[in-house]
């Protein structure tokens, strides 16, 4: 028998086949929501290129699903220049807002932003929502412009400014994604691995992506509107240790070679913030959400998923 769903719990996840979106979709389903993914690939429930489709196409998908909420987890950015990122984030967000206006019932919007919208803070100062906005790179600048569009629209919306996340499906261009794929390659070849990385100086707040997904579900159900909430664990971890833990989890013999990136295209979006730790108090108070998983589990499950994928 088909499960009976609460008519108020119907969500459309934009970018629902991406690394974060996939987990967001699963978390909504686990919480009893009827969840639909929109993405560019055939893996999505509704295949729609949000950078090209007019708002009425998305509005029609929202209406067909009778969506009460929409999550914007869409947007390519790895290796893209600022203009392309502006299109990925700002143009798409403007279209999402226009589509929500056109829909028969305006859905609540949960927009995924980034902690990189803020400027770097001195070491030891946790990132609160009143920290100065001073994005250093094109990624932070364009994500901030998208956040502004949401806040200025006066919609029923909340923006989550999210820190780094890891777990099954981590993007191969991210630091831990890159390391995981290189370790998997070593397993396939029956060799040890040589990991060529930019100097691992940063100390960052890392979330299990499944905790992040639960924060999005909490945000969809919360009362808060027209504001931002920072999403992180409240702990800062040296990324060198995370890389070491992933190598240990894999059991692969690996050598790390640290070298300054040869070109700007190889620099991580977050390379500007060396020390970053979120203050999780607002998320706890406003969303009733706190990260609960360990990073060891996130790394374990990321590695298991890579091995499973290689066997499939």
Ligand X SMILES: O=c1ccn([C@@H]2O[C@H](COP(=O)(O)OP(=O)(O)O[C@H]3O[C@H](CO)[C@@H](O)[C@H](O)[C@H]3O)[C@@H](O)[C@H]2O)c(=O)[nH]1
Q: Interface residues with ligand X (CB under 6 A)?
A: 114-116, 163-164, 174-175, 197-198, 200, 202, 204, 239, 268-271
Task: Choose among 166, 177, 181, 167: nearest CA to 310.
Answer: 181
Chain residue whose CB lies nearest ligand X:
270
Active site residues: 139
Question: How far are the Cα atoms of 116, 130, 140 from residue 136, in angstroms, in the given order?
Answer: 8, 17, 7
Is the CB of residue 22 less than 8 Å from the CB of residue 169?
Answer: yes
Closer residue to ligand X in complex, CB, 75/107? 75
Residue 208 main-chain phi, psi, to 5 deg: -70, 130
**Cβ proximity of 138 and 88 under 8 Å:** no
Reduce the DSSP state of residue 19 to 3 states and report it.
helix
C-beta of 70 vs 239, nearer to ligand X:
239
Tell which phi-psi region holds residue 164, choosing left (phi > 0), alpha (psi between -120 and 50) or beta.
Answer: beta
Between 60 and 200, CB nearer to ligand X: 200
SS3 84: helix
Smaller CB separation from ligand X, 102 or 136: 136
For residue 147, the minimal CB distance to ligand X (Å) is: 12
Helix, strand, or coil here: 260? Answer: coil
Nearer residue to ligand X within complex by CB, 55 or 113: 113
Least CB distance to ligand X at residue 154 (A): 25
Strands 108-114 and 157-162: parallel
- Residue 116 is classified by DSSP as G
| Least distance in angstroms from the C-beta of 1 to ligand X | 40
- Token pair recorded at residue 302: 């990321």
- Taking the complex as a whole, the smallest distance from the CB of residue 115 to ligand X amounts, in Å, to 5
Where do we find the tokens 């929502």?
129
CB of 291 to ligand X, least distance (A): 14
């Amino acid at each position: 028998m088909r499960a009976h769903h609460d008519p108020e719990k119907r969500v459309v996840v934009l970018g629902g086949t991406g690394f974060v979106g996939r987990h967001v979709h699963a978390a909504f389903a686990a919480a009893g929501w009827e969840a639909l993914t929109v993405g560019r690939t055939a893996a999505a429930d509704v295949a729609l290129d949000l950078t090209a489709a007019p708002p009425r196409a998305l509005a029609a998908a929202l209406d067909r699903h009778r969506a009460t909420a929409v999550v914007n987890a869409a947007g390519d950015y790895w290796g893209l220049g600022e203009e392309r990122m502006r299109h990925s984030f700002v143009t798409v967000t403007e279209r999402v807002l226009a589509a929500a206006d056109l829909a028969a019932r305006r859905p609540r919007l949960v927009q995924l932003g980034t902690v990189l919208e803020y400027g770097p803070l001195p070491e030891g100062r946790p990132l609160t929502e009143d920290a100065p906005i001073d994005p250093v790179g094109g990624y932070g600048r364009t994500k901030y412009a998208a956040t502004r569009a949401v806040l200025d629209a006066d919609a029923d919306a909340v923006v989550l400014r999210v820190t780094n996340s890891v777990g099954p499906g981590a993007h191969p261009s991210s630091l831990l994604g890159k390391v995981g794929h290189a370790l998997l390659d070593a397993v396939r070849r029956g060799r040890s691995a040589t990991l060529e990385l930019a100097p691992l100086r940063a100390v960052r707040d890392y979330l299990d992506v499944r905790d992040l997904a639960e924060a999005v579900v909490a945000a969809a159900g919360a009362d808060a509107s027209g504001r931002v909430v920072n999403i992180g664990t409240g702990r800062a971890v040296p990324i060198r240790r995370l890389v070491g833990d992933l190598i240990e989890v894999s059991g692969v013999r690996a050598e790390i070679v640290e070298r300054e990136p040869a070109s700007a295209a190889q620099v991580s979006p977050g390379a500007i913030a060396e020390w970053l730790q979120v203050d999780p108090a607002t998320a706890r108070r406003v969303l009733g959400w706190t990260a609960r998983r360990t990073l060891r589990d996130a790394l374990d499950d990321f590695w298991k998923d890579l091995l499973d994928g290689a066997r499939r």
